[in-house]
Amino acid sequence: MQALRIHAHGGPEVLVAEAVPDPVPAPDEVLVRIRACALNHLDLTLRAGFPTLKMELPRILGSDIAGELAATGEAVLLAPGVGCGLCHACLAGRDNECRRYQMLGYQRDGGYTELIAVPRRSVLPLPSGLDLTTAASMPLVFLTAWNMLVRRARVRPGQTVLVWAAASGVGIAAVQVAKLWGCRVFATARKEQLERARGLGADAVIDHYDSNLPVARAVKQLAPEGVDVVVEHVGQASWEQSLRALAPNGVLVTCGATTGYDARVDLRFLFSRQLRLKGSYMGRRADLDEVLDAVAAGKLRPVVDRVFPLAQAAAAHRYLAESHPFGKVVLAI
Ligand SMILES: [Zn+2]
């Protein structure tokens, strides 16, 4: 099969098109013909590399995959992460806490190619009416947002939630998941994307580049006590404002650090305001069924910004990094 692999970390040019052997499914695995693979910021991070990264090379990137079972042609979506299936965490349904958890496109080969072998439990049948491109744009970000809000922050109806970068994959998902759970949502975006953020269902929108009105102050104008939950995935650039925006006993839940990971916490505010900081990594396989049901019912709407052919994956990486897409960038295969 044809695949795009990286043999070294670096710029988009390290994505190399080459012929590789077809994957051979293990006894509990199925072979899937890939039709669409969505990009995530993770792909850019893994491609570029970072000092503490341990990653086997060469590697095929791509965590969000939709396609067809090679044997039957049935349309399917793949879970972006795979637990070992045997440990206590996996058997308890918390596979994203598995010590041997593997993400497609990271610890095992992903979707920038034509075929993939995955465990049978990774496969979700695609509901009718959901096309493969839209389906591929959904799993990682919606599962992440679900895990952040439902599992980690334990949101309840009537709570107020601040979502950073509502134009991003996780942001688009988090605004919708928070609304689905009956929350009041404030969403940040760059000025020209504020109206689209509102269109996702946000109750109020905040320009996160307005130097005259820092986000935490904008939040306090809308909710003087602060917010119950902050959905944080931006990192260093937004961290301080995230903490300042929290109400007493509020929860900051984070799943990423796109702008840097060297954040600081003023412990005086942490203890006196009884704040809670929570990490979130991917989500439970069983929750993906629930997310997909909500998408099929039209309660959650994945947003695709642009589709590139697989051969133009390097251009797609540049586009995601530089062009401020609203929604997901997807490779058609
Ligand atoms: Zn396990």
CATH number of the domain at 9, please.
Answer: 3.90.180.10
Specify the pLDDT at position 39: 98
Here the CATH number for the domain that contains residue 201 is: 3.40.50.720
212 lies in the same domain as 316 = no
Average pLDDT of the residues in 148-155: 98
58 lies in the same domain as 124 = yes
103 lies in the same domain as 70 = yes
C-alpha 37/C-alpha 217 separation (Å) is 39
Quickly list DSSP for 272-317: HTT-EEEE--S--HHHHHHHHHHHHTTSS---EEEEEEGGGHHHHH
192 lies in the same domain as 258 = yes
* Helix and strand numbers, DSSP H then E, in the chain: 11, 17
* Bridge partner residues of 243 (DSSP): none
Distance 53 CA to ligand 1 centre (A): 21
Distance 31 CA to ligand 1 centre (A): 22
Specify the pLDDT at position 206: 98
**Cα 304 to Cα 121, 132, 168, 258, 329, distances in angstroms:** 26, 11, 11, 20, 6
Distance 144 CA to ligand 1 centre (A): 18
First CA to last CA distance, the chain: 12
180 lies in the same domain as 236 = yes
Distance 1 CA to ligand 1 centre (A): 30
Distance 84 CA to ligand 1 centre (A): 4
89 lies in the same domain as 171 = no
- Given its phi and psi angles, is residue 297 left (phi above 0), alpha (psi -120 to 50 degrees) or beta? alpha
Query: What is the pTM for the complete model shown?
Result: 0.96
C-alpha 170/C-alpha 41 separation (Å) is 10
Please indicate, yes or no, if residue 249 is contained in any of the structural domains: yes
Distance 97 CA to ligand 1 centre (A): 7
Domain count, the chain: 2
Average pLDDT of the residues in 260-274: 95
269 lies in the same domain as 315 = no
Task: Reduce the DSSP state of residue 90 to 3 states and report it.
Answer: helix
Specify the pLDDT at position 90: 98
75 lies in the same domain as 118 = yes
315 lies in the same domain as 222 = no
The amino acid occupying position 50 is F
Average pLDDT of the residues in 297-314: 97
pLDDT digits (tens, 9 = 90+) for 14-46: 999 999 999 999 999 999 999 999 999 999 999
Distance 88 CA to ligand 1 centre (A): 7
Distance 276 CA to ligand 1 centre (A): 27
Instruction: Output the CA angle 131-95-69, nearest 5 degrees.
Output: 35
Please indicate, yes or no, if residue 289 is contained in any of the structural domains: no
Distance 98 CA to ligand 1 centre (A): 4
Distance 182 CA to ligand 1 centre (A): 33
108 lies in the same domain as 176 = no
Distance 96 CA to ligand 1 centre (A): 8
Distance 281 CA to ligand 1 centre (A): 14
C-alpha 284/C-alpha 137 separation (Å) is 18
Please indicate, yes or no, if residue 316 is contained in any of the structural domains: yes
Specify the pLDDT at position 333: 96
91 lies in the same domain as 210 = no
Distance 85 CA to ligand 1 centre (A): 5
Q: Are 292 and 2 in contact (CB under 8 A)?
A: no
Specify the pLDDT at position 234: 95
Distance 107 CA to ligand 1 centre (A): 14
Specify the pLDDT at position 277: 98
pLDDT digits (tens, 9 = 90+) for 73-89: 999 999 999 999 999 99
Instruction: Output the CA angle 43-47-50, nearest 5 degrees.
Output: 110
- Residue 184 pLDDT class (50, 70, 90 cuts): very high
Specify the pLDDT at position 243: 97
- Residue 108 pLDDT class (50, 70, 90 cuts): very high
Distance 24 CA to ligand 1 centre (A): 22
Specify the pLDDT at position 24: 97
Token code pair at residue 308: 């590139």
Average pLDDT of every residue of the chain: 97
Quote the domain boundaries for residue 155: 142-279
Which residues, 6+ apart, have CB-to-CB distance to 317 below 8 Å?
Answer: 12, 15, 39, 43, 44, 47
Distance 56 CA to ligand 1 centre (A): 20
Distance 282 CA to ligand 1 centre (A): 14
Q: Provide the angle, in degrees to the nearest 10, between the axes of the packed helices 41-48 and 313-322.
A: 110
166 lies in the same domain as 37 = no
Helix (H) or strand (E) holding 86: none
Distance 68 CA to ligand 1 centre (A): 26
